Chains A and B, each alone.
Chain A
Amino acid sequence: MEPHPGGLVTRRRFLGAAAVSAVAAGAGCAKRTEAAGPPGKAAVAILRAPSYRVDLVDRLVRGAALCGLDARGKRVLLKPNLVEFDRSSVIHTQAEVVAASVALFEHLGAREIIIGEGSGHRRDGYFLAEEAGYRQAIPDFDSRFVDLNRDEVAHVAPFPGKGGIYLARTALAADLVVSIARMKTHHWVGATLSMKNLFGVVPGAVYGWPKNHLHQAGIPNCVASLYRTFPRSFAIVDGIVGMEGNGPIQGRARSCGVLVMGADLAAVDATCCRIMGIDPEKIEYLRLVSDQGHVAEPWIEQRGETISQVRSPFELIPQFQHLRLV
């Protein structure tokens, strides 16, 4: 698969951006006419963070600078992964990382910082946030939090399945959607990172718990379509402690000691896969977007640490041994 030169707008990407523009205009927000992503190679920052007790804000500020992130004056949606919570496990994005992300975007001069999630299995989003420690860790959490499962919705088309899809309006109206995922394996698609984390903008109030609509329409296709729907996005992947084996719910904690950041979610996820010892070009949803995002190694510029310095192969279930990076 040949990478396309960064900065060129492909026909599919143009059509995707145009569809989003139509929806955004209907939602009363500014018209979007161009896709995000750096010209040329995609910059992805890898930062060492051996534990959640280190100065995470400092790490994130350095990572944002390495990626050239500009959030001044923007309405930013921070989207952590809170699909479920289990005190004994590492299913969710760690509260310290979400709190540090709030501080990062305050530092960058964002106009508004919203935290939004539409949990995938359990309905009570505020409860999950409390259990996960978000309320304790984040000042003014309640005034920032939007339950995307029960948000206002807007229709987006085309989308895999019949007749498009309804998505949370808060996400569609954001100037920048920041996907804050945990680095995890996934027993259906191999890995769940910043792109798959966008499933949380699909409203449970329309599609239920779990969001089986996306499974019926095909997980890889839906992940790829959500990536196209949110061209103005940024990824922060919490790989300080990830999950290996039977993820995304029942795997085991795996210390990896990194934060991975970047404006091209595909490039960030591809980098995370390489750190995890997974071949990103064998992950179907990454293959589906490789004509728009940067998945192939030559088109990703690693900044900060190199992959080889932090590589930490995750255990894979037998069904996914073929994904192992050779």
Chain B
Amino acid sequence: MQNCVESRLARLEATQNPDGGWPYFPGKPSWLEPTAYALLALSGRRGPAFERGWRLLRSWQMPCGAWRPCAAVDQAHWSTSLSLTVHWATGIRDAAFQRGIDWLVTSARAEDRMVARLTHWLCPSIVEFDPGLAGWPWETGAPSWVEPTAHALMALRGAARRAKNRDWNGRIAMSERMLLDRRCRDGGWNYGNRRVLGADLPSYPETTALALMALDGHAAVAWGTALDGVERTWHETRSPLARAWLSSCLLLYRGERPQPAERDDRTGNDILVTAIEGIPWNHILAAS
């Protein structure tokens, strides 16, 4: 198992861009998302690759406190949460980190607007969810969705525990309730719509794993059943990304990843998958 991790870390070092970041696919421009995951994977080494990546990540913070997703895009991005997790996971709690946290806890969501809640109450049958429960959106001011909420929850919970800050507990608790409210009838999560026009929607394995990781042992989840389902799905799905998140979830809660199958060469160039599989989630999140 250790060899698998080592091979992923070596691959990350081999695919780092000259600017210090990581692309989604080798040879392409750097993005914050794969860069943040690569830094979490390499955080135990703190070698030159980590340092170069760290410098790029820091340079992408915007005056508002949020991070941009890549050099070409000049707007605040949900992956700010990932950058904040890299900060607290590596022991950095400086002014830049604090500005990022401030942006995260004050960023607006559609559910904050009375008119959005009112509209939902008037037409509840289109998409069924509790509009009073807000997590985090993909974009500031938009409705909350599962994936950005999961990442923000992990980032904020880790920051709160390290700072011993209880001011954010309310937002953390509401986001947990929002995730639980969006849970599909089959027990997992998709992007965030469990029921549309009276029909149940199915969950996806990758978002199910992420939601479970973000719920941090929440009492409302039957964890034995949920994790058995995660392991079963890991064996069944052929999606490398889904398998990466499912195995990360098992690493977090059960202490080890399932034995990986042979890597499919056709998808082996996805750096996001490589990075997620290289992260010691049990050490990073369990300690948060």
Contact = CB atoms under 8 A, between A and B. Distances in A.
B77 A206 contact: yes
Residue among A126, A249, A317 with max Cβ neighbours from chain B (10 Å): A126
Interface stretch (A48-56, A116-124, A254-262): A116-124
Given A135-B266, A246-B197, A212 B78 contact: no
Residue among A135, A142, A317 with max Cβ neighbours from chain B (10 Å): A142
23 contacts: A86-B202, A122-B204, A124-B206, A124-B242, A126-B266, A127-B267, A130-B238, A135-B266, A147-B25, A152-B72, A153-B73, A205-B31, A205-B33, A206-B77, A207-B139, A209-B191, A212-B138, A212-B143, A212-B145, A216-B110, A216-B141, A250-B199, A317-B197
A213 B266 CA distance: 31
Nearest to B25: A150
B196 A208 contact: no
A15 B72 CA distance: 24
A151 B273 CA distance: 16
Contacts of A205: 24, 31, 33, 69-70
By size class, the interface of chain B is: 35 or more
Closest 6 A/B residue pairs (Cβ): A208-B138, A127-B239, A150-B24, A124-B241, A124-B239, A250-B199
Interface of A: 86, 121-124, 126-127, 130-131, 135, 142, 147, 150, 152-155, 163, 166, 187, 205-210, 212-213, 216, 246, 249-250, 317
A163 B24 CA distance: 25
B28 interface: yes
A225 B145 CA distance: 25
A216 B140 CA distance: 11
Contacts of A206: 69, 73, 75, 77
B137 interface: yes
Given A123-B241, A130-B238, A153-B73, A213 B24 contact: no
B81 interface: no
A154 B73 CA distance: 8
Contacts, number: 91
Contacts of B147: 208-209
Given A208-B78, A212-B142, A246-B199, A126 B137 contact: no
A249 B137 CA distance: 23
Residue among A121, A166, A208, A317 with max Cβ neighbours from chain B (10 Å): A208
Given A152-B72, A208-B139, 9 more contacts: A122-B239, A126-B266, A127-B238, A130-B266, A147-B24, A206-B69, A212-B137, A212-B139, A212-B142
A180 to B, nearest CB: 22
Nearest to B32: A205
Contacts of B197: 187, 246, 250, 317
B112 interface: no
Interface in B182-241: 190-191, 196-197, 199, 201-202, 204, 206, 238-241
A207 B142 CA distance: 11
A53 to B, nearest CB: 26
A153 B77 CA distance: 15
A206 B148 CA distance: 12
Given A124-B240, A127-B242, A153-B73, A213 B191 contact: no
Contacts of A163: 75
